[in-house]
Amino acid sequence: MDTSIMTVREVASYLHVDEKTIYRLASKRKLPGFKVAGTWRFKKDDIDAWIEHQKKSVPKSDSKLANTIRRKKG
């Protein structure tokens, strides 16, 4: 179990997307995260679980982010 806490920049780098994408997904509650003193933070375990859920629920041709996630996690 990885209890690492990640910043927006770290999650964006991990998922190979722009930071704006992370802000947008988090604010819409489509990406699991929480705010500390007004700044977004993410548990790595939650991001990894979210990735696995996305791999199972998003059709292959559905989105650029889904394709990025599939490449990242294999």
Which residue type is seen at 66?
Answer: A
Residue 73 has pLDDT above 70, yes or no: no
The structural domains of the chain, with segments of one domain joined by +, span: 5-73
pLDDT in tens, 5-64: 999 999 999 999 999 999 999 999 999 999 999 999 999 999 999 999 988 886 655 566
3-state secondary structure of 15: helix
Predicted TM-score of the model (pTM): 0.74
Q: What is 5-73's CATH topology?
A: Multidrug-efflux Transporter Regulator; Chain: A; Domain 2 (1.10.1660)
Give the Cα separation of 11 and 8 in Å (integer): 5
